[in-house]
Amino acid sequence: MIRAVLFDLDDTLCDDTGQMFESIREVAGLVPGGDPEAIADGYWRISHRFWTYEIHTRPPEPLESIRELLWKQTLDEAGVAHAPAQLKLLAARYGEAREKTPPPFPDAEHTLAQLKARGLKLGMVTNGVSESHTGKLARLGLGHFFDTVLMPDLTGFAKPDPRQFHLACERLGVLPEHTAHIGDSLVSDIGGARGAGLTAIWYNPENKPRPESATEPHHTVQTLAELLEITG
């Protein structure tokens, strides 16, 4: 029996990808001597790699430092000369652009409310850091639904590390086998949840094919409302 549900945040409760790419394109246009489209594509790829595969291998560090590093790697790859002051400016402007939080997905609030009404405990496990995601969660208006929120800079762990999932279960007072986790990443969310002994639910609204090499989820949903049936 499922007694608790853990949620990813970005691209699970709101469209982070669309807003992120708009921000990247906006800042890429500020780089002198570079091709904005190529720079935007490069930052997108490098950032995705970092937040999916590298964040859990690094010690906690300020978000601004992470963004400066990602812009440095992007410009280095593009062969564009840069100075430390320029990296700080790009990181700052990108941070400002990322403050524009998209609205929650249409069925997010209703689904969370229904799960709470049924007596399930809810947690959030995101790889976003507190410097950006505490405010994002507040702006989404969904924070009050969650009994606990875990972020890597506050716990010392990041998905797919099973310790992050086990810590969430411990805080909620439930066993992993009685807990489900839903997220859009086959690596961080599905691989992490299955590795920690949770029920793994892949949020796949666009019905994308799953690569053969990827971890198989226990369930796949295209809407958050489908959680109500799975947990019912």
Q: For residue range 162-174, list pLDDT tens digits in order.
A: 999 999 999 999 9
Alpha carbon distance 38, 31 (integer Å) = 11
Share of the chain above pLDDT 70, in %: 100
Q: Could you give the angle at which helices 16-28 and 36-49 cross, rounded to 10 degrees?
A: 130
pTM here? 0.86
Read off the tokens for 200. 């793994």
Check pLDDT > 90 for residue 122.
yes
- Are residues 39 and 31 in contact, defined by beta-carbon separation less than 8 angstroms? yes
Check pLDDT > 90 for residue 190.
yes
Write down the H helix ranges in the chain: 16-28, 36-49, 63-78, 84-97, 108-117, 130-140, 152-155, 162-172, 192-195, 227-230
Return the pLDDT at 57.
Answer: 84
Phi-psi region of 156 (alpha: psi -120 to 50; beta: other; left: phi over 0): left
Closest listed residue to residue 112, CA positions, set 136, 91, 141: 141
- Are residues 150 and 125 in contact, defined by beta-carbon separation less than 8 angstroms? yes
- Name the DSSP class of 14: B
Mean pLDDT over the full length of the chain: 94
Closest listed residue to residue 105, CA positions, set 3, 12, 8, 209: 12
Q: Could you report the per-residue pLDDT of 99-115, keeping only the tens digit for each?
A: 888 899 999 999 999 99
Neighbours of 144 (CB within 10 A): 9
Check pLDDT > 90 for residue 177.
yes
Write down the H helix ranges in 120-223: 130-140, 152-155, 162-172, 192-195
Read off the tokens for 72. 């440095």
Q: Could you report the per-residue pLDDT of 37-61, keeping only the tens digit for each?
A: 999 999 999 998 998 888 878 887 8
Read off the tokens for 14. 């709101």
Alpha carbon distance 192, 6 (integer Å) = 12
Domains in the chain with CATH codes: 4-15+102-230 (3.40.50.1000), 16-97 (1.10.150)
